[in-house]
Amino acid sequence: MTTGQVKAFKLLSVAGAYWRGDEKNKMLQRIYGTAFEKQSQLDEYLKMREEAEKRDHRKLGKEMDLFSFHEEGPGFPFFHPKGMLLRQNLLAFWNELHDRYEYDQISTPIILNRQLWEQSGHWDHYRENMYFTTIDDAPYAIKPMNCPGGILVYKSNVHSYRDFPMRTAELGLVHRHELHGALHGLFRVRSFTQDDAHIFMLPSQMKQEITGVLDLFHEVYSAFGLEYHVELSTRPENSMGSDEIWELATKTLKEAIEEKGVPYQINEGDGAFYGPKLDFHVKDSIGRTWQCGTIQLDMLMPERFDMTYVGEDGQKHRPVMVHRACFGSIERFIGILVENYAGAFPVWLAPIQVKILPISEKHMAYAAELRKKFKKAGIRVELDESNEKIGYKIRKAQIEKVPYMAVIGDKEVETGTVSVRDRAKGDLGAQRTDEFIAHIKDISDSRKG
C-alpha cells in the first residue's frame, strides 16, 4: 500500500516514550494516528471510537460505584456493594444454568505445592506469570489455573465407565502476574474468577457432551443479546497424542458446531499442543468482538496425572478430558457487559432495580414503607434520603442507570400509589404499588428486560 491510497487520516494522540523502552534514554514523542482508503471508513471508525469512550467500563464503573482499583493493589479489583450485587446476579444465573445442565460444583484451594505445578507443567512453562510463597519451609504457588485442583478431586476416587460423563464446575479465584503496563481495568487484571468446568467422559460420549456445552453457551450469550462466532483451532506441528485421537477430537468438534448451525472458521495449526479447541467470540452492541468462552480437549493432563477409569473389560483406561469456560473471567465479562449496555443493565441484572425518590422530608415515612414492601417482594431497591431537590435526585438516578424511579409526593401518599419513571421512556404516570411490583418481578424472572 502506498501513501497515495490513503484518502483519509487523523492524528489521535501523542505520548512520551523512552527510546527502546529504557528510562535511562532520552524521552521521545510518540504520535498515534489512523488512516483509511475512504473518508466514510474513517468517519465510521471515529464514531465507534467516540461511542467506545462513552462506554468505557472504567469510567462507568466509577460513576455507577461498581468497582475501583487502588495503588495498594495494582491489577486487583475492589468490588463495591452495587458491583457485588451485579456480580451476584450474574453468578445466580450461572448457578441456575449449571444446575439445570447437571454439573456438580467443587471448590479447590488457592495455594498448592510446587510438586503439583511441576507435574502439571505450569512450573516449567508458566512460572513467570505465577506468585509464590513458602509454607513449612516448602515452596508453594498461588494457582494461575483451576485444572490441577480439579484433577485431584477426580483422583480422590476410583471411577468406572458407568460414572461418565462427569461434569464438575468451579468458580475458582486465580492469580496471574501481568506487567503493570498491560493492566487495563477489568479486562486485564492480576486476580480473577474463572467459571471453569472439566468434563470427564468416554470417547463415545465426546460429541454428545460438546453439543451440551454448545447449548449452554448459546443460552448464556443469548440471555445478554450477544451474537457470537466460533473459531476452531486444529493440531499444531509440535503436539502430543496419536493421529487417531486428534482426528477423532477435531472431527467431533467440527460436527458438533456444524449440526448446531453455529458460524465458525478454522485456524489451521493454532490449537494447543495437547488438543484442539473452540474459541467463542461475542459481538457487542457497537460491533466490537471479545473472546470469551472456550472448549478445550486435553490429551496431556490425563497422562501427566495418570488419570484412569475401569472400563467394561475390567481394565484401566484413560478418560477424555475437556476444559470449558463460558464467561472466561467473571471480572472481564462484567467489563464487557458494562460496555455492551453502556451501564444500562436489563432489569433482571441491574444492581438496583428501583430507586425511591421522595420529593420532600414529609414524604419520607411513606417512602420508607415502600422500601420495605419492595424488599419483601425480592426487588433490589434503594431509597434516596438526601435533602436535594427532586430534579437533582432524578438526574443522579439517571447517571446511576437505575431502570425505574418511584417518585413520591403528596398525591402518591394520599392515594397509596407510586409515580413511575423509566430511565429510557421517562414519566409513566401513577401506578398501584402492587401492580408495579408484579411488573418488575415478571420482567425480572423472565429475563425479558
Cα separation, 318 vs 385, whole angstroms: 63
CB-CB contact of 438 with 354 (8 Å): no
Last residue of a domain, one of 341, 362, 379: 341
The domain of 182 spans 67-341
State the total domains in the chain: 3
Does residue 277 carry a catalytic annotation? yes
Cα separation, 175 vs 198, whole angstroms: 19
Least confident segment among 32-46, 373-387, 388-402: 32-46
Number of other residues whose CB lies within 10 A of the CB of residue 360:
12
CB-CB contact of 355 with 402 (8 Å): yes
266 and 223, same domain (yes or no) = yes
What does each C-alpha distance from 62 to 67, 76, 399 come to in angstroms?
7, 15, 11
> How do residues 174-207 score in pLDDT, each as one tens digit?
999 998 888 999 999 999 999 999 999 999 999 9
115 and 257, same domain (yes or no) = yes
Does residue 198 carry a catalytic annotation? yes
**Residue 146, Cα to own-chain centre: how many angstroms?**
16
Q: Which of 57, 98, 147, 324 is catalytic?
A: 147
Whether 70 has a binding-site annotation, put simply, is: no
What does each C-alpha distance from 222 to 194, 218, 245 come to in angstroms?
20, 6, 33
Short-list 154, 443, 122, CA closest to 319: 154
Instruction: Say which residue, 249 or 358, is predicted with more confidence.
Output: 358
Q: Which of 87, 188, 198, 421 is catalytic?
A: 198
Cα separation, 165 vs 200, whole angstroms: 6
320 and 378, same domain (yes or no) = no
Any domain includes 349 = no
Any domain includes 60 = no
170 and 288, same domain (yes or no) = yes
DSSP one-letter code for 121: T
DSSP one-letter code for 12: E
Confidence (pLDDT) at 275: 87
| pLDDT (mean) for 339-354 | 96
305 and 268, same domain (yes or no) = yes
CATH number at residue 365: 3.40.50.800
3-state percent helix, strand, coil for the chain, nearest multiple of 5: 40, 30, 30
- Relative to beta strand 264-267, strand 227-233 is parallel
Last residue of a domain, one of 307, 341, 375: 341
pLDDT grade for 307, boundaries at 50, 70 and 90: very high
266 and 334, same domain (yes or no) = yes
Confidence (pLDDT) at 23: 66
Q: Which of 57, 175, 196, 279 is catalytic?
A: 196
Any domain includes 61 = no
User: Could you tell me the three cell numbers for 159?
Assistant: 471411577
pLDDT grade for 43, boundaries at 50, 70 and 90: low
CB-CB contact of 413 with 396 (8 Å): no
Any domain includes 347 = no
Cα separation, 97 vs 346, whole angstroms: 18
Any domain includes 25 = yes
336 and 293, same domain (yes or no) = yes
CB-CB contact of 16 with 10 (8 Å): no
Q: What is the DSSP string of 196-263?
A: EEEEEE-GGGHHHHHHHHHHHHHHHHHHTT-EEEEEEE---SS--S-HHHHHHHHHHHHHHHHHTT--
Q: Which of 57, 82, 194, 384 is catalytic?
A: 194
| pLDDT (mean) for 46-52 | 71
| pLDDT (mean) for 383-412 | 96
Any domain includes 71 = yes
DSSP SS3 for 167: strand
Does residue 54 carry a catalytic annotation? no
306 and 407, same domain (yes or no) = no
Q: Which of 167, 175, 323, 371 is catalytic?
A: 323
307 and 391, same domain (yes or no) = no
Does residue 147 carry a catalytic annotation? yes
Does residue 323 carry a catalytic annotation? yes
Cα separation, 150 vs 296, whole angstroms: 15
Does residue 176 carry a catalytic annotation? yes
Q: Which of 82, 277, 324, 393 is catalytic?
A: 277
CATH number at residue 271: 3.30.930.10
177 and 99, same domain (yes or no) = yes
Q: Which of 98, 143, 176, 355 is catalytic?
A: 176
Any domain includes 407 = yes
Any domain includes 359 = yes
User: Could you tell me the three cell numbers for 45?
Assistant: 471508525
